[in-house]
Amino acid sequence: MINGAELLILIVILAITLDIIIGEPPNAIHPVVIIGRTISRFKPYFMGFHNRILSGCLFLIWVIILNSMPVIVVLYILYRLGNILFLIIFIIIYVYFLKSTFSINSMGKHIRRIVNSITDNDIIMARKHTSMVVRRPTDNMDVHGIASASIETIAEGFVDGYLTPLFFYSFLGLAGALASRVINTMDSNIAYRDSEYYEIGRCTAIGDSIINFFGSRMVPGIFRLSAFLMGYSTGKIRIINTTDSLNAGYSIGSMASVLNVRLEKTGEYIINAQGQQPEVGDIRKAMNIYYLSALIFLILFVIPVIAILFFIHLLVIL
């Protein structure tokens, strides 16, 4: 019988392998899509509260419970049964839900569409594909603007779309990964600064900043190591907090530094202003850094943390 640490390590390796080979499941059974539907279903009830900041916090807790507790309970029962068949079912369910909390394959697909469109000199399609990964207007973007938006998406997406879920998985298992994914999904749905959502989305926005706080500060070192191993430019890392996010400057700033490119969101910020204008080749480099960084984080952080925590647990119970 494999022990707890071996099982958790096996599960995360299987989940990453599943993501790389198969990618995203159909929307009808995709846990993140179901989270989105849960948010839409219950949002009208919580929007009606008088104290909308409090209702936003209760809304967040409610969605986390609805989308994590049933799965955790089922997994606990399957694991406690101890039968090899139930253990196999346990692993299948666990891998499926853990895989849903991060996405390497999907990021690669979106970015490849942009790169291919630019390579084919189809600026219209490049703008269209870029609009699917950023909130900013893309109608008038040139190649440099598209490249900048793509590289920023890759850098920031590495944190909230991969590192943060696995960071919390390392310490709290699937419950931690699912909770972080719910917070990130709700942040995309209700954490806006307009009059309708500002108060109700405040708790979620703060929660999203908190869960990405530690991971975003690990990224500069990870990106620099990846760039060094790939032979890319590794200029001095600049952490530039000119974005409207507490954490985004770490991932975007470090990616801009290691690639020595200028990244700009028109009217809001310029990062690494002295860098070169980004080109399609820089998008490819950023994606390569993303892939290698994912492997580095798994080997140097996730697996060691799981093993160390299990060892500490053994010392305590013995």
The model's pLDDT over 57-97, given as tens digits with 9 standing for 90+, comes to: 999 999 999 999 999 999 999 999 988 999 999 999 999 99
Q: What is the pLDDT of residue 237?
A: 64
Residue 233 has pLDDT above 70, yes or no: no
By CB neighbour count within 10 A (0-12 exposed, 13-18 middle, 19+ buried), where does 143 fall?
middle
Listed residue (289, 291, 257) closest to 271, CA to CA: 257
Q: What is the pLDDT of residue 240?
A: 59
| Contacts with 207 (C-beta within 8 Å, 6 or more apart), sequence order | 60, 183, 187
Mean pLDDT of the chain: 91
CA distances from 136 to 47, 110, 161, 195 (A): 26, 16, 19, 19
Q: What is the pLDDT of residue 12?
A: 98
Q: What is the pLDDT of residue 242?
A: 54
SS3 264: strand
By CB neighbour count within 10 A (0-12 exposed, 13-18 middle, 19+ buried), where does 246 fall?
middle
Q: Which two tokens stand for residue 37?
A: 């539907």
pLDDT digits (tens, 9 = 90+) for 146-189: 999 999 999 999 999 999 999 999 999 999 999 999 999 999 88
Listed residue (204, 212, 245, 183) closest to 52, CA to CA: 204
Over residues 265-282, the mean pLDDT reads 89
Task: Please state at what angle helix 164-190 crosses helix 52-81, rounded to 10 degrees.
Answer: 140
pLDDT digits (tens, 9 = 90+) for 277-287: 999 999 999 99
How far apart, in whole angstroms, are the C-alpha atoms of residue 131 and residue 35? 23
% of the chain beyond a pLDDT of 90: 75
CA distances from 1 to 7, 51, 84, 91, 259 (A): 10, 51, 9, 13, 46
Residue 144 has pLDDT above 70, yes or no: yes
How far apart, in whole angstroms, are the C-alpha atoms of residue 296 and residue 16? 13
Q: What is the pLDDT of residue 269?
A: 85
Residue 241 has pLDDT above 70, yes or no: no
Sign of the Cα pseudo-torsion (11, 31, 25, 85, in order): positive
Length of the chain: 318
Residue 318 has pLDDT above 80, yes or no: no
How far apart, in whole angstroms, are the C-alpha atoms of residue 218 and residue 53? 31
Task: Please state at what angle helix 248-259 crosses helix 143-158, rounded to 10 degrees.
Answer: 120
Q: What is the pLDDT of residue 194?
A: 74
Task: Write the DSSP symbol of residue 25.
Answer: P
Q: What is the pLDDT of residue 239?
A: 61
Q: What is the pLDDT of residue 243?
A: 57
What's the pLDDT band for 262 if we cut at 50, 70, 90?
A: very high
What's the pLDDT band for 50 if we cut at 50, 70, 90?
A: confident
SS3 139: coil
pLDDT digits (tens, 9 = 90+) for 86-130: 999 999 999 999 999 999 999 999 999 999 999 999 999 999 999
What's the pLDDT band for 2 if we cut at 50, 70, 90?
A: low
